Chains A and B, each alone.
Chain A
Amino acid sequence: MLSRRDEILIGLGVMALAALFLWWLIPTYVAIPRRVPNRALAPSFWPNIIGWTMMLAGALLATRATLGPALPTGTADRVGPRGPEFLRLFGMAAIMLVTYLAIPVLGMVWVSMLTFLAILFLTGAKRLGWGVLVAVLLPLTLYFFFTKVAGVAIPQGQIVRLP
Chain B
Amino acid sequence: MSLLESVAAGFALVMQWESLFFLATGVAVGVFAGAVPGMSATMAVALTLPFTFALPPIYGILLLLGVYKGGIFGGSIPAILIKTPGTPASSATALDGYPLAEQGKAGKALSMALYSSCIADFVSNIALIMFAGWLALFALNFGPPEFFTLIVFSLTIIAGVSGDSLLKGIVAATLGLMLATVGLDFIGGTERFTFGSVEMRGGLNFIAVLIGLFALPEIISYVRNPRERDASVRGLGHASLTRAEFRGSLKSIFRGSAIGVFMGSIPGIGAAPSAFLSYSEARRSSPNRDNFGKGEIEGVAAAEAGNNGVAGATLIPLLSLGIPGDVITAIIIGAFMIHGLTPGPLLFENHADLVYAIFIGLIASSFLLLIIGSVAIRAFRYIADVPTNLLFPAVLVLCIFGVYAINNSIFDVLVMMAMGLIGYIMLVLRFPAAPFLIAFILGPLLENTFRQSLLMSGGSLEIFLRGPITVIFWCLTVASLYFIIRSTIAAARIRRQARQGSETAPEQKD
Residues of A at the B interface (CB closer than 8 Å) are 2, 6, 10, 14, 18, 21, 25, 29-33, 36-38, 40-41, 43, 46-47, 50-51, 53-54, 57-58, 60-61, 64, 68-69, 71-72, 79, 81, 85, 88-89, 91-93, 96-97, 99-100, 103-104, 108, 112, 115-116, 119-120, 122-127, 130-131, 134-135, 138-139, 142-143, 145-146, 149-155
- B366-405 contacts to A, CB under 8 A, are 387, 389-390, 392-394, 396-398, 400-401, 404-405
Residue of B nearest to A134 (CB): B390
Contact yes or no, B224 A89, CB < 8 A: yes
The answer to the question of B285 belonging to the interface, with a C-beta cut-off of 8 Å to chain A, is: no
Query: Bound state CA distance, A68 and B193, in angstroms?
Result: 37
Contact yes or no, A69 B500, CB < 8 A: yes
Sample (5) of A-B pairs whose CB atoms are under 8 Å apart: A2-B429, A31-B190, A46-B177, A61-B171, A153-B408
Contact yes or no, A29 B54, CB < 8 A: no
Given contacts A43-B192, A50-B181, contact A131 B401 (CB under 8 A): no
List, in ascending order, chain A residues with CB within 8 A of B420's CB.
96
Shortest Cβ distance from residue A48 to the other chain B in the assembled complex, whole angstroms: 10
| Tier of interface size on chain B | 35 or more
List, in ascending order, chain B residues with CB within 8 A of A85's CB.
224-225
List, in ascending order, chain A residues with CB within 8 A of B177's CB.
46, 50
Query: Bound state CA distance, A138 and B395, in angstroms?
Result: 10
The answer to the question of B466 belonging to the interface, with a C-beta cut-off of 8 Å to chain A, is: no
Contact yes or no, B387 A130, CB < 8 A: yes
Per DSSP, chain B at the interface is helix
Contact yes or no, A120 B389, CB < 8 A: yes
- B473-510 contacts to A, CB under 8 A, are 496, 499-500, 502-503
Contact of A31 among B51, B191, B450, B496 (CB under 8 A): B191
Contact yes or no, A58 B224, CB < 8 A: no
List, in ascending order, chain A residues with CB within 8 A of B222's CB.
123
List, in ascending order, chain B residues with CB within 8 A of A127's CB.
387, 389-390
| Cβ proximity bits B428-441 to A, threshold 8 Å, 1 near / 0 not | 11100000000000
The answer to the question of B130 belonging to the interface, with a C-beta cut-off of 8 Å to chain A, is: no
Query: Bound state CA distance, A61 and B387, in angstroms?
Result: 40
Contact yes or no, A131 B389, CB < 8 A: yes
Contact yes or no, B167 A135, CB < 8 A: no
List, in ascending order, chain B residues with CB within 8 A of A142's CB.
397-398, 401
Shortest Cβ distance from residue A122 to the other chain B in the assembled complex, whole angstroms: 6
Per DSSP, chain A at the interface is helix
Contact of A29 among B195, B404, B447 (CB under 8 A): B195
Given contacts A53-B170, A57-B170, contact A30 B178 (CB under 8 A): no
Residues of B at the A interface (CB closer than 8 Å) are 51, 53-54, 167-168, 170-171, 174-175, 177-178, 181, 185, 187-188, 190-195, 219-220, 222-226, 387, 389-390, 392-394, 396-398, 400-401, 404-405, 408, 410, 413-414, 417, 420-421, 428-430, 447, 450-451, 454-455, 459, 496, 499-500, 502-503
Shortest Cβ distance from residue B221 to the other chain A in the assembled complex, whole angstroms: 10
List, in ascending order, chain B residues with CB within 8 A of A125's CB.
226, 387, 389-390
Shortest Cβ distance from residue B248 to the other chain A in the assembled complex, whole angstroms: 41
Contact yes or no, B400 A10, CB < 8 A: no
Beyond contacts A47-B178, A153-B408: 9 other A-B pairs, Cβ-Cβ < 8 A, are: A40-B459, A51-B178, A54-B174, A112-B400, A116-B393, A120-B390, A130-B387, A138-B397, A143-B401
Residue of A nearest to B171 (CB): A57
List, in ascending order, chain B residues with CB within 8 A of A103's CB.
410, 413
Contact yes or no, A152 B54, CB < 8 A: yes
Shortest Cβ distance from residue A90 to the other chain B in the assembled complex, whole angstroms: 10
Contact of B405 among A40, A88, A150 (CB under 8 A): A150
Shortest Cβ distance from residue A55 to the other chain B in the assembled complex, whole angstroms: 9
List, in ascending order, chain B residues with CB within 8 A of A89's CB.
220, 223-224
Contact yes or no, A92 B401, CB < 8 A: no
Contact yes or no, A72 B502, CB < 8 A: yes
Contact of B421 among A68, A93, A119 (CB under 8 A): A93
Residue of A nearest to B188 (CB): A33
Contact yes or no, B194 A29, CB < 8 A: yes
Shortest Cβ distance from residue A154 to the other chain B in the assembled complex, whole angstroms: 7
